[in-house]
Structure 1
């Protein structure tokens, strides 16, 4: 199991975009199970009026997929570190394909991401994953691409 402090040592992300709270299971090179608690204090809910319907509090799909991708990033970077493979550069979420959304998460829910590492080719990692709330699968992603890019190849802001 990895706690939040361990995750912060692996991922460069920080509040408010760090979207993984804990790693429950980690099988390097293969699979990770990670969680993210959704709270009503999330920045995505700021400004919602008191009379907003309950559906307005559905956790945004973009953040759900980002959280799933970060879990995959932890799996990839932790695996590389265990194998003493040099990993340098900026971790970038490349893409998500074959997304199927079958439910929603709301404040008070805990997302449970299950991500499988399919292939690492150079500075690219290909993964697939699912997100669950309790016993209900709410999302599947057939392919997630994460990439590492050297800072010198990124365009300055």
Structure 2
């Protein structure tokens, strides 16, 4: 752009040469802005990919914790049913298991909430990605239409 913006304009300069200089300046500016926008989109797409991979990791972890809490809860309930009556030691174990069940149920509820939050975040990321993809395709079409008729400088 700098190369073409310093053209000397005099009253005696030929009109065709002046128009050709302006055309080159316009093409240089256009190419500069296209390059800048492409770099910006590169950064945006890279960040989206990072967020999606992070989301997948969190979903997998959440699902594993959910299943672990469920299996521990089932095991504790079955132990309580097996040792329904007994001596003092059994009663203490029952109380420990009950407190463990309560803790596991709290963990399960928290994991369910986390899972729902992650799902809603994933849906919003997908919507944003779709919107950016549509915007990108529209801009690509504009660039193709604008650049298809002329040669690039």
Q: TM-score range with shorter-chain normalisation? A: under 0.3
**Higher-Rg member (1/2):** 2
TM-score by length of 1: 0.27
Which has a greater percent of strand? 1
TM-score in terms of structure 2 length: 0.27
Structure possessing the higher relative contact order (Cα contacts under 8 Å, 6 or more residues apart):
2
